[in-house]
């Protein structure tokens, strides 16, 4: 079971769906950012799992490495935006981000 | 029951449990700890997949930087970082989308399990996933994206500083015109200065006194 790529595909899909449901259902901006992290991690797991099928070729792990770098940058900017949003609205409810609505 | 299977089972349970805790917890601190559990589980799965370099990077970057950043922000926001549980509900649209995603996962799971052919991993090569192999790949075939990633990280750090910085024109207070008040900016509350509590600041009291003198 742990030597087939299908089990890793199932696990990565489950984590991705949990993350996307959390992003859609929760309204706390911080929890939504954490859900985005869950989705990025599941894609990393899938890339590394497929890379294991082609031993000797490191393209999948290189992709995962760049995804980790981009995720770190995204979290830094995202948390800065959360701080400014908190200063603007006094809360972390993402339903209150309606400045661009009108 | 091989050791690899035990590692896979334990790390899978860590990942799924941590993900559910991350999404379902009301307190964001618990959510951050669930995210940490998921990240550690995925690092274990990377080890099972012979990706030692990526397992190290996962622990270093995610557990060492991202989760700590989340915890810092949650502690900075304090009790307002968590919303009350009954602060309104999601629209039917969002619930339908998330339910459709769950149904899609069930369909995919069924399709995968019913497919007879499964792809076993081949015998692992000698240097699959080591620092040398990944580094060779990065610096031979992906050198330009690597340098672009460094630029991206610098720009993101500068952007985070620029966005998160407080507005200086609001925080810096203009000094008073009165030289006496500029010199003695000690107790500004009337209570601290021993004056009766009339609800006025020191500058207002000063202006009031000068008006009284003028009249």
Tokens of B127: 């240097």
Between these two residues, B172 and B152, which has the higher pLDDT value? B152
To the nearest whole Å, the CA of B73 is away from the closest chain A CA by: 7
What are the residue ranges spanned by the domains of chain A? 5-94
- Beta carbons of B160 and A80 less than 8 angstroms apart: yes
Q: Is CATH 1.20.1250.20 the right assignment for the domain spanning A5-94?
A: no
Please give the average per-residue pLDDT across B132-141, as a whole number: 92
A52, pLDDT greater than 60 = yes
Please state, in angstroms and as integers, the Cα–Cα distance from residue B101 to each residue in A20, A64, B76, B108, following that order.
8, 24, 34, 10
Mean of per-residue pLDDT scores for chain B = 82
Across the range B147-169, mean pLDDT stands at 88
Which of B28, B39, B156 lies at the smallest CB-CB distance from A31?
A: B28
- Res B206: pLDDT: 65
Alpha-helix runs per DSSP H in chain B: 3-24, 28-48, 52-57, 67-77, 92-114, 131-141, 143-164, 168-171, 179-183, 190-193, 202-214
- Which has more pLDDT, B215 or A97? A97
Contacts of B180 (CB under 8 A, 6+ apart): B206
Is the pLDDT higher at A82 or at B207? A82
Please indicate whether residue B145 or residue B112 has the higher confidence score (pLDDT). B145
Quote the percentage of chain B above a pLDDT of 70. Answer: 73
Alpha-carbon distance A75 to B137, whole Å? 26
The average pLDDT across B153-162 equals: 94
Q: What is the mean pLDDT of residues B146-166?
A: 93
pLDDT, residue B166, reads: 72
Q: Which domains does chain B have, with CATH numbers?
A: 3-80+128-171 (1.20.120.1200), 179-214 (no CATH)
d(CA B146, CA B191): 62
- Which two structure tokens, joined as six digits, stand for B200? 């006025």
Q: Which residues of B162-194 are buried (b: 16+ CB within 10 A; e: fewer)?
A: ebbeeeeeeeeeeeeeeeeeeeeeeeeebeeee
Are A84 and B137 inside 8 Å of each other by CB? no
Q: Which percentage of chain B shows pLDDT scores above 90? A: 47
Average pLDDT (A2-20) is 88
Mean per-residue pLDDT for B22-36?
A: 93
Helix (H) or strand (E) holding B66: none
pTM of the predicted protein model: 0.80
Q: Could you give the angle at which helices A5-25 and A29-53 cross, rounded to 10 degrees?
A: 170
pLDDT at B213: 61
* Segment 53-92 of chain A within 8 Å of chain B by CB: 53, 55-56, 58-59, 61-62, 64-66, 68-77, 79-84, 86-87, 90-92
Residue A34 has pLDDT above 90, yes or no: yes
Which of the pair, A17 or B177, is modelled with greater confidence?
A17
More confident residue, A20 or B83: A20
The residues, ordered by sequence, that sit 6+ positions from A13 with a Cβ below 8 Å of its Cβ are: A42, B105, B108, B109
Whether B32 contacts A34, CB under 8 Å: yes
Distance CA B80, CA B120 (A): 49
Q: Is the ipTM of this complex over 0.90?
A: yes
Residue B45 confidence (pLDDT): 95
* CB-based contact, A6 to chain B, within 8 Å: yes
Query: Residue B18: its pLDDT value, please?
Result: 96
Chain B positions touching A15 (Cβ under 8 A) are 15-16, 19, 38
Is residue B201 within 8 A of residue B181, CB to CB? The reply is no
> How crowded is the C-beta side of B89, counted as CA atoms within 13 Å?
4
Confidence of residue A91 (pLDDT cuts 50, 70, 90): confident
Which of A4-13, A60-69, B15-24, B179-188 is predicted least confidently? Answer: B179-188
């Amino acid at each position: 079971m742990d030597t087939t790529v299908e089990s890793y595909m199932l696990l990565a899909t489950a984590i991705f769906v949990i993350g996307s449901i959390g992003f859609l259902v929760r309204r706390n901006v911080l929890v939504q950012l954490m859900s985005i992290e869950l989705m990025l991690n599941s894609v990393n797991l899938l890339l590394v799992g497929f890379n294991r099928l082609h031993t000797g070729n490191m393209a999948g792990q290189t992709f995962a490495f760049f995804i980790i770098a981009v995720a770190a940058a995204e979290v830094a900017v995202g948390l800065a935006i959360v701080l400014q949003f908190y200063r603007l609205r006094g809360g972390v409810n993402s339903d209150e981000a309606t400045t661009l609505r009108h | 029951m091989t050791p690899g299977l035990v590692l896979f089972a334990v790390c899978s349970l860590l990942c799924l449990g941590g993900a559910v805790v991350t999404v379902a917890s009301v307190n964001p601190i618990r959510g951050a700890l669930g995210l940490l559990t998921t990240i550690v589980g995925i690092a274990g799965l990377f080890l099972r997949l012979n990706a030692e370099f990526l397992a190290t990077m996962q622990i270093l970057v995610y557990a060492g930087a991202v989760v700590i950043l989340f915890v810092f922000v949650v502690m900075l926001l304090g009790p307002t970082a968590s919303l009350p549980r009954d602060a309104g509900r999601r629209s039917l649209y969002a619930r339908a989308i998330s339910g459709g995603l769950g149904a899609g996962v069930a369909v995919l799971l069924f399709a995968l399990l019913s497919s007879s052919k499964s792809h076993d991993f081949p015998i692992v090569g000698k240097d699959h996933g080591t620092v040398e192999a990944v580094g060779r790949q990065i610096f031979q075939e992906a050198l330009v994206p690597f340098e672009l990633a460094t630029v991206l990280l610098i720009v993101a750090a500068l952007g985070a500083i620029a966005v998160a910085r407080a507005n200086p024109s609001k925080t810096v207070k203009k000094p008073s015109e009165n030289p006496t008040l500029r010199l003695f900016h000690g107790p500004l509350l009337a209570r601290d200065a021993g004056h009766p509590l009339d609800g006025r600041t020191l500058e207002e009291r000063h202006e009031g006194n000068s008006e009284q003198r003028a009249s």
